[in-house]
A and B are shown apart, each in its own frame.
Chain A
C-alpha cells in the first residue's frame, strides 16, 4: 500500500489530494500506467508525464525510479516558488 499525493492541477484533474493505492508496480512509470488504466481522470492528469514531476518520500525522483521501500509518492507540475 502506497500513499499517493497530488498537487496543483494534477490534484484538480484527479479530484482528490491524496489516496492509498494498492499496487505491485515496480517503478513510478509502472504506477502511472496502472493509474491511467483505472479511469479517464487519471489518464487526463498523466497524459503528458514530461509536464510532471515526482517525489518519492518527499525527495525529487525520476519516473524510472523503483518503488520498493517507498511509502509516499507525490505527483505535481513543475514548481513555481519564490
Chain B
C-alpha cells in the first residue's frame, strides 16, 4: 500500500505501469485518474488546501479498510494539493485484486471516501473571483452504499 500527498504533478502512465503485476495472485488491476474539470467554461485555476498530517492518515485508513475488505494485493493513492489548471490530473487510485469485481469495487469505495472523508478543500478561481467548492449531498449519500 502506498499513499502520496504532494503538490507536484505525477506521471499516471509510469505509476500504472507495473502496478500490482509480477505476483501470481493478481488477476485484475483497476486504475482511476481524476482530472480538473471546468464546468463554467471560465475556470482559471483551482487551489486545493489540505490538512498536513491528517490527510495522509485519513487516506491510509481508507486504503487499509479497502485492502482488508476486498483482499487487495496492492493499493496506490496519489492526491495533489496546491494550484491546478483545468485538464491537469488531481489524483489517482489503483487497486490490484484476484478478480475484477473486487478491484472495481475497491476503487469506487476509495473514490467515494476520498471525496468526503479526506481533508481537502477546493477553491475555484474565475473572472468573477474565487469560490470554495461546496460538498454535495450525493457525496455523503454515496458512502451509504458501502
Contacts and interface: CB of A to CB of B under 8 A. Distances in A.
Contacts of A80: 115-116, 120-122, 132-135
B112 to A, nearest CB: 8
Interface stretch (B9-17, B22-30, B51-59, B95-103): B51-59
Nearest to A55: B54
Main SS at interface, chain B: mixed
B106 interface: no
Contacts of A77: 121, 132, 134-135
A76 B90 CA distance: 21
Interface in A24-82: 55, 58-60, 74, 76-82
Contacts of A8: 49, 121, 123, 132
Given A8-B121, A77-B135, A82 B114 contact: yes
A81 B51 contact: no
A18 to B, nearest CB: 11
Contacts, number: 69
Contacts of A5: 51
Contacts of A55: 51, 54, 119
Q: Which residue, A76, A78, A81, A82, has most C-beta atoms of chain B within 10 A?
A: A81
B57 A79 contact: no
Nearest to B53: A58
Contacts of B45: none
Interface of B: 34, 49, 51, 53-54, 57-58, 79, 90-91, 111, 114-123, 132-135, 140
Given A74-B51, A79-B120, 9 more contacts: A7-B121, A55-B54, A76-B121, A78-B140, A79-B116, A80-B122, A81-B91, A82-B91, A82-B120
23 contacts: A7-B51, A7-B121, A8-B132, A55-B51, A55-B54, A58-B54, A59-B57, A60-B117, A74-B54, A76-B51, A77-B132, A77-B134, A78-B116, A79-B118, A79-B120, A80-B121, A80-B132, A80-B135, A81-B91, A81-B116, A81-B117, A82-B111, A82-B118
